[in-house]
Structure 1
Amino acid sequence: MKTVQLKKVRNEKLRYLSEAHLLKEPLVLVFGDRKMLQDENIYKEIRAVFKDGHFIFGSTSGDITSNSVDDESISITAIEFEKSNFIVKTANVLNSDKKINSNLIGRDLIQQLPQDNLKYVFVVSEGSFVNGSQLTIGMNTATQDNLLITGALCGDGANFEATVASYNQQPKEGEIVIVGLYGDTLEVSFATNGGWTPFGPERVVTKSQDNILYEIDGKPALDLYKTYLGEKSKELPGAALLYPLKVKSSDEKKSIVRTILNINEDENSMILAGDIKEGSMVQLMMTNVDSIVNAAEVGAVKALNYRENKPDLAILVSCIGRKLVLDQRVEEEVEEVVEVIGKDVTVCGFYSYGEIAPFNGEKNCQLHNQTIVITLISE
């Protein structure tokens, strides 16, 4: 596996972060600032560097390399597989007049991939319209819960205005891209970790629909949430990223973290990043910088322990909520991962609105929030 990395900062030309190689038909991962990706010249500019490349674009809440975490920039990672191959499929959730069916879209996308020797799927999904919970359920249905899938919902900084993605064209809204990797020697491992601690009493979800939370313990969810936040409730919905919910439903073995993406004052409800079932037990969570950084280190150790060979490539996806907590120390999370996996491993990725991966040791993928997902690849 050969890789080349480039960086583009606003109003500057592309610059190389690693030695330039002449790559053959590389998979080119382009992660960065949404407004920069929407520039009409960006696709042509990157295509000029890798004329026979296959380009996956995704907007972020910060792009990641081993060197830095940046906001107003684009990071480009070109990968040439020497023993493996890949196939890319796309769908757009805005192309239908019907109500968006994320479950069906996820299932159909996976079914479009040839299944013979399919080892791994990487997902770059728009993050504004898709229901990430239903998307993962649909993908699992198509694979009988027996295919490793990791990835993310695209971001837009802390703006929550729009997200864009694409394959081999100008990035656009509503797009979902999946990359299927094939190869006899391909080895992919992963791990997830959070670092958040629950506090306060457990309460029961008494009214919800899909990803909208209406009532907890028979009371308006938003009112109860504001009571706990106190003065910080004036900063909603942004403040909610610092106080997510731990959710445990009766038919699930493990709890999952859910971020509150928005609020509806008229309905006294909260819009979450993923589904929340009636009858689930919920609890507020909080964290600090050291807990998040330590969680990243533990995740990297787990991902490394799950594999036989040294990785060539690491794809890191971390939640915007973690980035807000880390603030000026945001690069420490990445530094801990690099320290574990080795400085010679190419690192790429981004901060997202939702992380896609199984629970550790499982195969069926889930939508996570406030989590770091570390995917290690070699061939």
Structure 2
Amino acid sequence: MKINQLHMNSAGGRITCPSAETPRERPLALVFWSDLDEQGVRNAARMLRESCGEPVIVGCSTGGVIQGGQLFENALNATLVTFEHTRFETVSAMAADHPDNRALGRHLGAALNNEGLVHVFVLSDALTINGCALAAGLAEALPSHVGVTGGLAGDGERFERTTLLHGCDIFSGGVICIGFYGDRLRVSQGTRGGWVPFGPERLVTASHGNALLEIDGESALDLYERYLGKHAKNLPASGHLFPLNLREVGSSVWVVRTILGLDRERKALFFGGDVPLGSTVRLMRGSIDNLLDGAEEAGKAARPGEGKALAILVSCVGRKMLLKQFTEEEIEAVAEALGPETTLTGFYSYGEIARGIEGEPCCLHNQSMMVTVLQEIC
């Protein structure tokens, strides 16, 4: 497995492949960008295609780009991976072509050839697709032994438009899946949070899908505004600092949900995943030390064996909002846990897709650091 990384800032410029050697197989190019106009991203994709062996290009907009041990904004980064013993294929679909997001996930899972499939990495629009339903559909369609990880695209702290890149096409309202095939690919994964619940347990008394209307009979928006105080004027962005811990009826598993939007007329909050009626919820808050510890634990859980490896980090933009100038310390904590032979790429997201800590099926997480490590075995 050969890995090369390229970088372009907001000033643009020519992207040149670091090696003049034309690979035998088309490389995979993972492209993540932050605060760049769409035409600039298209131009970068065309340059990659022309100068880097016509790679298969897949990527998304973000709330910040991870490359190496650093965070980049107003920039585009591309990681080119040329596999020696692993095959991959990509499929994409639009939500508008399916009755619901769960059906969208089932369609994507069925579109991938299952023979030899070992792992699926997912990139999804965040603002028009329910990541919880998408993950459930994928889990239903894919064999149980196939791992699924990925993330929802980001848009900084604006929450206006999130986009995907497939080839040289940029679009919203869709999902891209990368399927990896072969018995020489080792995939490890770790997902951890670091947020701490506070206050009493409360009951969801009115909701619809990912729209939370009432908690304990009170308007969800009113309750959040009371708890957030001066931060309430910056909703929905400030809601990332106070995510919701949720446990569905009949389950012992707690998951984290974060706010992606609101409707003041309905006094509703829209979350990155479903908030089922009857669920038990608690507000959460974080500290810098707790979030850094969580990132380190995610890195340790995904640590590869000896040799070169690629780690794709997907961390929630809410963590970045709380960590501020300490954000790179989160990335460095993961890098140190993974070891010096692992190359890092990734992005800050509006949601993370992965199995749970106790091995639960693939689901949507919020406010977590998710690490996926790909390593070919010699």
TM-score, normalization by structure 1:
0.94
Q: Aligned pair 1:27/2:24, yes or no?
A: no
* Paired residues of 1:65 and 1:75 also in contact (CA < 8 A): yes
Q: Aligned pair 1:371/2:372, yes or no?
A: no
Cα drift, residue 240 of structure 1: 0.7
Letter in 2 for 1:322: R
For residues 17 and 352 of structure 1, the distance between their equivalents in structure 2, rounded to whole angstroms, comes to 27
Q: Tell me the SS of whatever aligns to 1:284.
A: strand
For residues 227 and 19 of structure 2, the distance between their equivalents in structure 1, rounded to whole angstroms, comes to 51
1:346 is matched with: 343
Letter in 2 for 1:231: K
For residues 79 and 214 of structure 1, the distance between their equivalents in structure 2, rounded to whole angstroms, comes to 45
* Paired residues of 2:46 and 2:168 also in contact (CA < 8 A): no
Q: Tell me the SS of whatever aligns to 1:252.
A: coil
Report Cα offsets for 1:117-157 as digits up to 9, x if no partner: 10000001111211100000100110254420000011111
Cα drift, residue 234 of structure 1: 2.1
User: Against the structure 1 CA distance between its residues 34 and 170, is the aligned structure 2 distance closer, same or farther, given a 3 Å change threshold?
Assistant: farther
For residues 321 and 252 of structure 1, the distance between their equivalents in structure 2, rounded to whole angstroms, comes to 26
1:301 is matched with: 300
User: Against the structure 1 CA distance between its residues 364 and 104, is the aligned structure 2 distance closer, same or farther, given a 3 Å change threshold?
Assistant: same
Report Cα offsets for 1:156-176 as digits up to 9, x if no partner: 111111111132122222231
For residues 350 and 251 of structure 2, the distance between their equivalents in structure 1, rounded to whole angstroms, comes to 23
1:186 is matched with: 185
* Paired residues of 2:189 and 2:370 also in contact (CA < 8 A): yes
Cα drift, residue 13 of structure 1: 2.1
1:216 is matched with: 215
Cα drift, residue 361 of structure 1: 4.6
Task: Give ranges in structure 1 of 5+ residues lacking alignment.
Answer: none
User: Against the structure 1 CA distance between its residues 14 and 338, is the aligned structure 2 distance closer, same or farther, given a 3 Å change threshold?
Assistant: farther
Structure 1 stretch displaced more, 122-131 or 18-27:
18-27
Structure 1 stretch displaced more, 365-374 or 352-361:
352-361
Q: Tell me the SS of whatever aligns to 1:330.
A: helix
Q: Tell me the SS of whatever aligns to 1:335.
A: helix
Q: Tell me the SS of whatever aligns to 2:175.
A: strand
2:243 is matched with: 244
For residues 20 and 326 of structure 2, the distance between their equivalents in structure 1, rounded to whole angstroms, comes to 30
Report Cα offsets for 1:96-136 as digits up to 9, x if no partner: 4x7x6110111111101111110000001111211100000
1:36 is matched with: 37
Q: Aligned pair 1:53/2:50, yes or no?
A: no
User: Against the structure 1 CA distance between its residues 14 and 369, is the aligned structure 2 distance closer, same or farther, given a 3 Å change threshold?
Assistant: farther
For residues 301 and 14 of structure 1, the distance between their equivalents in structure 2, rounded to whole angstroms, comes to 37
Q: Tell me the SS of whatever aligns to 1:180.
A: strand
Q: Aligned pair 1:9/2:6, yes or no?
A: no
* Paired residues of 2:352 and 2:366 also in contact (CA < 8 A): yes
For residues 140 and 290 of structure 2, the distance between their equivalents in structure 1, rounded to whole angstroms, comes to 35
Task: Give ranges in structure 2 of 5+ residues lacking alignment.
Answer: none
For residues 369 and 21 of structure 2, the distance between their equivalents in structure 1, rounded to whole angstroms, comes to 30
1:35-114 superposed matches below 5 A: 35-39=36-40, 40-94=42-96, 96=97, 101-114=100-113
Cα drift, residue 22 of structure 1: 4.5
* Paired residues of 1:7 and 1:14 also in contact (CA < 8 A): no
Corresponding residue to 1:322 among 319, 330, 336? 319
User: Against the structure 1 CA distance between its residues 76 and 251, is the aligned structure 2 distance closer, same or farther, given a 3 Å change threshold?
Assistant: same
* Paired residues of 1:119 and 1:181 also in contact (CA < 8 A): yes
Q: Aligned pair 1:355/2:356, yes or no?
A: no
* Paired residues of 2:63 and 2:157 also in contact (CA < 8 A): yes
Cα drift, residue 16 of structure 1: 7.4
For residues 239 and 69 of structure 1, the distance between their equivalents in structure 2, rounded to whole angstroms, comes to 21
For residues 17 and 374 of structure 1, the distance between their equivalents in structure 2, rounded to whole angstroms, comes to 26
TM-score, normalization by structure 2:
0.94
Question: How many matched pairs?
Answer: 374
Q: Tell me the SS of whatever aligns to 2:141.
A: helix
Structure 1 stretch displaced more, 365-374 or 285-294:
285-294
* Paired residues of 2:15 and 2:44 also in contact (CA < 8 A): no
* Paired residues of 1:166 and 1:176 also in contact (CA < 8 A): no
User: Against the structure 1 CA distance between its residues 46 and 303, is the aligned structure 2 distance closer, same or farther, given a 3 Å change threshold?
Assistant: same
Cα drift, residue 12 of structure 1: 3.4
Q: Tell me the SS of whatever aligns to 1:41.
A: helix
For residues 35 and 377 of structure 1, the distance between their equivalents in structure 2, rounded to whole angstroms, comes to 28
User: Against the structure 1 CA distance between its residues 20 and 74, is the aligned structure 2 distance closer, same or farther, given a 3 Å change threshold?
Assistant: farther
1:333 is matched with: 330
* Paired residues of 1:165 and 1:172 also in contact (CA < 8 A): yes
User: Against the structure 1 CA distance between its residues 247 and 169, is the aligned structure 2 distance closer, same or farther, given a 3 Å change threshold?
Assistant: same
